[in-house]
Amino acid sequence: MSVLICDADGELWYTRAEELGLYSIAMPYSYGGKIYYYDLGKETDFRAFYDAVRGGEIPKTMALNPDEYVRILEPYFANGEDVLYVSFSHAMSGTFDHLDTALEQLRVKYPERKCTVFDTKSICLGAGIQMEYAAQLKNSDASDDEIIKKLTAFRDRVAVYFVVDDLMHLKRGGRLSGIAAFAGTLLSLKPVLTIDERGGLKVIEKITGKKKALRKMANHVIADLTGTEFSVYVVDADCPEEGDAFAKMIVEARPDAKIVRQTVGPVIGTHCGPGTIGVIFVADSRPIPLETD
């Protein structure tokens, strides 16, 4: 018998996670000298966070330490349960090194138990839509092996596109070089970004102007959306009007799209910054990044 868990970097809204019976590991972030743990929006003060960032505050994210992972996982092992953990991209955080350390400690005490970790190779709702699918499979009595097999095929169909308002947020988070951020800002570039097959950040297209970039993203959804049984997640980082307008572009051309609108949480928002718009949906394959990027 196993339990299915995920983490808050998948950004499934708390009501959806609760509906699916899915436990989510809260992920830490800090600003204003205080550490917070993202709870999928249940008690998150989005306004305070984004106002602080717009006011010049530089938030940070951090890895969970091994002791925190032991605290989270040990009760399941002690109860005789294995764990299937569907996680955000391992390429984006050192937290999984700490997870490995915690699991080594737990194996000594619980040699008969195991924790299977599935790397979604994505983040935000690119990971969240896979977590949601895993929970649906689990709730239909699929075995862990069946879930892993289906997730492995599904993972390569999850399309993620987003555009940020200020490239310097990606630079501060180590997701973009200083030179690239400076050049992009100087040229008013709004690159359309994605997550590649290794789970890293890549550029799809380099576009001047946010309106053009959003139209390009909408066109990708309109042309490539095939998994209409799944939601199309349109997310914004404190720019709901832009997010609503972007969602409208999609629905006008693809009325079969089931749009879910959502706010980007503080952990992801730390790296992308206010003004970001993103879309996550199921296609035939992942987007192909620019090879030269």
134 with 177, same domain: the answer is: no
| Count of C-beta atoms within a 10 Å radius of residue 112 | 8
- Tell whether 53 and 72 lie within a shared domain: yes
Angle formed at CA 214 by CA 211 and CA 220, multiple of 5 degrees = 145
The reply to whether 101 and 173 lie within a common domain is no
CATH code, domain with 187 = 3.30.1180.10
Residue 87 lies in a domain: yes
Last residue of a domain, one of 155, 170, 199: 155
DSSP element (H, E) containing 97 = helix 95-109
Q: Angle of helix 144-155 relative to helix 125-139, nearest 10 degrees?
A: 150
Q: Pick from 121, 132, 133, 126: which is nearest to 96 by CA? A: 121
Instruction: Give the structural domain span for 6.
Output: 2-155
Alpha-carbon span 72 to 190, nearest angstrom? 40
Q: Which of 111, 136, 155 is the last residue of a domain?
A: 155
Tokens 């030269």, residue?
292
Tell me if 178 is assigned to some domain. yes
Q: Is residue 265 part of a domain?
A: yes
According to DSSP, the β-strands at 115-119 and 201-205 are unpaired
Task: Strands of 52-167 (E only): list them.
Answer: 60-61, 82-87, 115-119, 158-163
State how far the Cα of 202 lies from the Cα of 238, in Å rounded to an integer.
23
288 is a domain residue: no
Q: Is residue 289 part of a domain?
A: no
Q: Name the domain boundary from 155, 178, 196.
A: 155
Same domain, 25 and 144: yes
- Is 0.85 topped by the overall pTM? yes
pLDDT of residue 204: 87
Domain count of the fold of the chain: 2
Per-residue pLDDT of the chain (293 residues; tens, 9 = 90+): 799 999 999 999 999 999 999 999 999 999 999 999 999 999 999 999 999 999 999 999 999 999 999 999 999 999 999 999 999 999 999 999 999 999 999 999 999 999 999 999 999 999 999 999 999 999 999 999 999 999 999 999 999 999 987 766 454 544 444 334 333 443 457 788 899 999 988 888 888 889 999 999 999 999 999 999 999 999 999 999 999 999 999 999 999 999 999 999 999 999 989 999 999 999 999 998 875 44
